[in-house]
Chain A
Amino acid sequence: MKRTTARWAIPVATALFAALALSACSSSPAKSSASGPVTLTFWGTYGNGGNKAQTDVLSQTIIPAFEKAHPNIKVNYVDVPYDSLLQKLTTSAAGGQLPDLVRSDIIWVPKFANLGVFAQLDGKMPNFNTLAQATYPGTLSTNKWQGHYYGLPLDTNTRVLITNQSALASAGLSTPPATFADLQTDATALAAKKIPVFADSGLQGWNILPWIWSGGGQITNADLTQATGYLNSAQSVAAVQMLVNLYKEGEIPNLLIGNKGAVSTQDGLPKGNYANILDGPWMKAIWAGQYQSFQPVYSPMPAGPGGSISVVGGEDIVMTASSKHQDAAEQFIAFTQSSVYQLSMAKTGQMSVVSSLDAQEAAASPELAPYIKQLQTARSRPAVPDEPQIDTALQDDLVPAFEGKVTVQAALDKAAKDIDPLLTATK
């Protein structure tokens, strides 16, 4: 028995290895001659989560439309897990093996632009200015780095206030809080029913900036070079102080400081554990699958002294500087701004970035109306390479304020001091 096992092990291994080697040989990239069709490789995260809706739109509507209009160009889409896309981009950049196009998270663009990984588009792409001006300013600014643009907005989203009507009703309230003052009075009423008025899962830019901006505060100056004097201004402090007061009374759960064991906003709102959360357009489909009887109520971000201002999220379409088919890639980028692309994707929850398509988008998907309205005033987080470190600094420096260990002013002073060097850091 041992001899026969040994006998066939080696030939099998050799055969397998030969097969693999052969398949490796056939994997060398097809060389595109000057006259033959060009194949663009496009990395994205559309299909994540078993989400066939978006990849179907891409493969059945969008790419065929593009290839019909541009017979010499083929688009090859590759789906990458979202949590790993940054890692894959990084290693591929280090190895000099990048795709032509990437659907990049907006906070990565300045970082990779600074490293020379993404290609500059303004001054190079034929109709760049026209296309750029058609987009929402908040979304366009995420592509800007040192005076130049390294991508165009591809899809966007923002956060609005989402409310559990029955939680409100149990405390005798009928409408979601529209202002900071409403929030505070609602909180007291809900506290009697032991329902936190608001819940969120962190203190990073995405979480805290809507409050600071709506409170009339800023985080940096217009040039994005200084945080001290802005992040720790009186209005910023007041906005954060309001949240700290609510937290101390137990009216905001400790999910806020990063406790992963607390009930998530995704589950807590439909179950009535929380009265209000801030979240994006994707929640509708998620709740439809899991909590079918839940009817969320959407309203704008509560307004403070600065108005009702929320934060911009989304993705940009970028071209890599090492791409060998830059003209073709630019044509695809231009195509992503067309109504075909934007509106087909909008139906699946990827909101349009082109402001003129507002009305059509709202007509096709009425549930996006509150988000479209909020986008008109929404702002983006600081578009600098070290934005992830800024998020960490905000989280780390604000947690002690919520835990009562330092005053809000002291926490914001420290955060501003930590963020100043991050704004101007370049590698």
Chain B
Amino acid sequence: MTHVVPAVTSTRPQTPAAAPDEGVRSIHGRAPARRAAARRVAIPYAFLAPGFVLFAALIIYPMIRAFQMSFYDWRVVAGATSDFIGWQNYVTAFHDPIFWRAFANSGAYMAMTVPPQIVLGLLVAMLLNAKAPGRAVYRLLFYLPVVTSWVVVSLLFQYLFANAGLVNYVLHGAHATNGATSWLSGRWTAMVAISALGIWKGIGWSMMIFLAALQGVSRDLEEAALVDGAGRWRRFTTVTLHAIWPATIFVTVMLVIGGFNVFTSVLLMTGGGPADQTQVLLTFMYEQAFKYLDFGYGSAIAVLLTIVVFALSVVQLRVFRNRTLT
């Protein structure tokens, strides 16, 4: 049985062929050739420039300023001089038990919400890929949670998981629990409620990405695999998975970043409480910066979060990129 190797996808771009230039070099001499070559080198930069300049000015520069803020006891008022305190904000963070709890909670949320969103999103995308009547309606229904505002759904879920809420009502009816679970008053039960919201809201998003990716799965390859007698699982792993690999990388990296950046749902469902039990990094950071007006400390937390997320993303990209070569 021949192993089906897709020949069309490539992950490493090659420089364009040199064919068009040869005529220039031979007929018109060296100088125009050098200019043409210079022009060709400049092309990618020309494509990059408009977007990258905007990005550098409006995102990178403020990022550097925020990083700078973390080294000061930053005074809020414009024009006031702040004291330079070096690494002190970072030291405070490392000694702050609430910082570590927030870190653990953000990580737990990420671990609890990312795998289900990937698996369920892909499953739904595959089910909705085939041409079936009403396909657009189903896609819309799965996407609706994504477009509903975080504020509204957080309050809805707070209501659903309340002591006298729908979830307890249903669980009691199904005789699964005694129906009196106080979801939002304990650290881990609250994390379950918040994660349920995160998964529910995110499935439609990853579904969309996978749907777009599944369009790129070449029908020829599927047919070739069928001819070879490959079973469904084999077809999935060799053809489908390979074609949607870049999308899977993208979804995983983005969901990990999103998981660590959870904010509105926690703020509204538990407020980080009771007694800082359910604080996540972003709610903690927001409290420090906008309630206590300690922007230096808030910036330090933001920097630490960025470093963690960046490291995780680099690791993921490296691991996943290597995998495609096998």
Residues of A within 8 A of B (CB): 86-87, 90, 93-96, 111, 115-117, 254, 257-263, 386, 388-389, 395-396, 399, 427
Question: Would A254 and B185 be within 8 Å (CB), given that A86-B291, A90-B293, A115-B293 are in contact?
Answer: yes
- Report A-chain residues with C-beta under 8 Å of the C-beta of B274: 257-259, 399
Q: Quick check: is B158 within 8 A (CB to CB) of the other chain?
A: yes
**Chain A residue with Cβ nearest B289:** A90
Q: Which B residues, 212 to 251, have Cβ-Cβ distances below 8 Å to chain A?
A: none
B29 in the interface (beta carbon within 8 A): no
Interface string of B247-260 (1 = CB under 8 A from A): 00000000000000
Q: Give the 10 A-B CB pairs with smallest separation, nearest first.
A: A96-B78, A258-B274, A259-B185, A261-B184, A258-B273, A261-B162, A399-B275, A261-B163, A260-B184, A87-B290
**A-contact 0/1 string along B57-83, CB 8 Å cutoff:** 000000000000000010111111000
Q: Are B76 and A395 in contact (CB under 8 A)?
A: no
Q: Name B80's contact: one of A116, A263, A395 (CB within 8 Å).
A: A116
Does B292 lie within 8 Å of A254, measured CB to CB? no
CA A259 – CA B182 in complex, angstroms?
Answer: 8
Asked if B276 contacts A396 (CB within 8 A), the reply is yes
Cα–Cα, bound, A138→B274 (Å): 31
Sample (30) of A-B pairs whose CB atoms are under 8 Å apart: A87-B290, A90-B290, A95-B78, A96-B78, A111-B293, A115-B75, A115-B76, A115-B77, A116-B77, A116-B80, A117-B76, A254-B182, A257-B185, A257-B274, A257-B275, A258-B274, A259-B163, A260-B269, A260-B273, A261-B158, A261-B162, A261-B165, A261-B182, A261-B183, A262-B182, A263-B164, A388-B292, A395-B275, A399-B275, A427-B73
Return the CB mask of B175-202 against A: 1 if under 8 Å, else 0: 0000000111100000000000000000
A95 vs B162: C-alpha distance in the bound complex, in angstroms?
A: 40
In the bound complex, CA of A117 to CA of B79 (Å): 11
Chain A residues whose C-beta falls within 8 Å of the C-beta of B276 in the assembled complex: 396
Q: How far is the CA of A121 from the CA of B184 in the complex (A)?
A: 45
Cβ-defined contact, B271 with A94, below 8 A: no
The CA-CA distance from A259 to B163 in the complex, in Å, is 9
Whether A262 and B163, one on each chain, are in contact in the complex, defined by CB atoms closer than 8 angstroms, is yes
A389 contacts which of B158, B162, B270, B292 (Cβ < 8 Å)?
B292
The answer to whether residues A260 and B158 also contact, given A93-B76, A399-B274 and a CB cut-off of 8 A, is yes
Chain B residues whose C-beta falls within 8 Å of the C-beta of A399 in the assembled complex: 274-275
Contact A260 B291 (CB under 8 A): no
Whether B161 sits at the interface, judged by CB under 8 Å, is yes
B162 cross-chain contacts in A, Cβ below 8 A: 260-263
Question: Closest approach, in angstroms, between the C-beta of A261 and any C-beta of chain B?
Answer: 4
Assembly CA distance A254 to B163 (angstroms): 11
Least Cβ–Cβ distance between B9 and chain A, in angstroms: 23
Question: In the complex, which residues of chain B have a beta carbon less than 8 angstroms from the beta carbon of A395?
Answer: 273, 275
A283 to B55, CA, bound (A): 49
Known: A259-B184, A427-B73. 10 other contacts (CB 8 A): A94-B77, A94-B295, A115-B80, A260-B184, A261-B165, A262-B162, A262-B163, A262-B185, A263-B164, A395-B275
Task: Write the nearest CB–CB distance from B150 to chain A, whole angstroms.
Answer: 14
CB contacts (< 8 Å) of A427 on chain B: these are: 73, 75, 293
> Whose C-beta in chain A lies nearest to the C-beta of B83?
A427
Listed residue (B79, B184, B185) with the most chain A CB atoms within 10 angstroms of its CB: B185
Taking CB atoms, residues of chain A closer than 8 Å to B77 are: 93-94, 115-117
Asked whether A258 lies within 8 Å of B275 as measured between CB atoms, the reply is: yes
Q: In the complex, which residues of chain A have a beta carbon less than 8 angstroms from the beta carbon of B76? A: 90, 93-94, 115, 117
Task: Give the chain A neighbours of B271 by CB distance below 8 A.
Answer: 258, 260
